Amino acid sequence: MLRWTDMAKILIAEDDRFLSTAFQIKLTKLGNEVKIAGDGNAVLEILKTFTPDIILLDLIMPVKDGFGVLEDLKANKILETIPVVISSNLGEKEEIDKGLALGARDFIVKNSISLEDLDKKLKSYIK
């Protein structure tokens, strides 16, 4: 299994507690600092005090969805350079295209990726 070369700071934006906890446990075991936000507004609040190396962003979240969060990130000169990987079960071309057009680096379908593959994918976008 791949290991991060350095400790990465990862923000997981996911309202499914089981899934966010699974991601957090796996990525923390690899030596990373992981924070979880359960809705779009929580993402923006956490970003006031925590600057992640990468954001794993769900699209369907309460309060503010992932597309709204992406728009806010890309409109902020300080936050716009943080790589974002969308993690969603919406796998239609329209959602993928919209996410990428809003600045996401990649789009993964949650129910189609193993935690090991997620590890590899996130590592490829850091640094």
pLDDT tens for residues 81-113? 999 999 988 778 888 899 999 999 999 888 788
- Rounded CA-CA distance 58/85 in Å is 9
> Tens digits of per-residue pLDDT, 32-75?
899 999 999 999 999 999 999 999 999 989 999 999 999 999 99
- Rounded CA-CA distance 67/86 in Å is 9
Q: Which domains are assigned to the chain? A: 9-118 (3.40.50.2300)
- Rounded CA-CA distance 4/20 in Å is 19
